[in-house]
């Protein structure tokens, strides 16, 4: 099967497609007529969130059989036009659940430790320890709005921030 990958994709994902015997064509940044032209003879289109798969694009891709969105959400794909042409549309909602949960904690830690402000001050050659005192996540309440796949993954990882190492420290130092 000939697969057009319309946006950057992890090299491991590209390798898996090739290892499965697919002919992979990478063509990032195409829109409208240029994308439709690139789809001639292509059976599968892989997109992320930036490529708009419009009726015009689908009309210009008579051999296209499937559009796969790496990630979740299909608001940039004209589902009605795809249905009319017999083109299947799928997303991969589990693909980024762990990454999003981990990123949540990266942002929480950056916020509580004032990392952006500390970085900016250091780049200006200014450092004031008292300006950059952060707070621990231990013992804090984390509110989650929604408890879908990502919410559950965040909650599961949050448990690690609720465990005190003080009992370990006492054993080591006593």
Q: What is the pLDDT of residues 74-105, one digit of tens each?
A: 999 999 999 999 999 999 989 889 999 999 99
Q: What's the pTM?
A: 0.71
Distance (Å) of CA 91 to CA 31, 33, 47, 103, 141: 20, 23, 9, 21, 33
At 47 the pLDDT is 97
pLDDT at position 165 is: 54
**Distance between CA atoms of 23 and 84, rounded to whole angstroms?**
26
Task: Give the residue-averaged pLDDT of 105-125.
Answer: 94
Q: Domains of the chain (ranges plus CATH)? A: 2-91 (3.40.50.720), 97-173 (3.40.50.720)
Digit-coded pLDDT (tens) for 7-64? 999 899 999 999 999 999 999 999 999 999 999 999 999 999 999 999 999 999 999 9
CB 73 within 8 A of CB 91: yes
The neighbouring-strand residues paired with 99 are: none
Query: Per-residue pLDDT averaged across 133-162, rounded?
Result: 91
125: left (phi over 0), alpha (psi -120 to 50) or beta: left
Q: How crowded is residue 76: how many other Cβ atoms within 10 Å of its Cβ?
A: 14
Q: What is the pLDDT of residue 174?
A: 47
Average pLDDT over residues 114-128: 92
């Amino acid at each position: 099967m000939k697969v057009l990958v319309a946006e950057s994709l992890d090299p491991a994902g590209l390798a898996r497609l090739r290892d499965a015997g697919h002919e992979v064509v990478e063509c990032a940044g195409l829109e409208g007529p240029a994308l439709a032209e690139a789809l001639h003879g292509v059976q599968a289109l892989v997109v992320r969130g930036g490529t708009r798969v419009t009726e015009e694009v689908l009309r210009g891709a008579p051999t296209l059989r499937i559009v796969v969105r790496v990630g979740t959400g299909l608001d940039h794909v004209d589902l009605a036009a795809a249905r009319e042409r017999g083109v299947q549309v799928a997303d991969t909602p589990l693909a980024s659940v762990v990454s999003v949960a981990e990123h949540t904690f990266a942002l929480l830690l950056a916020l509580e430790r004032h990392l952006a402000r500390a970085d900016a001050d250091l780049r200006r050659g200014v450092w004031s320890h008292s300006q950059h005192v952060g707070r621990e996540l231990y013992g804090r309440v984390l509110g989650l709005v929604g408890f879908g796949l990502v919410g559950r993954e965040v909650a599961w990882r949050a448990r690690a921030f609720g465990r005190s190492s003080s009992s370990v420290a006492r054993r080591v130092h006593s």
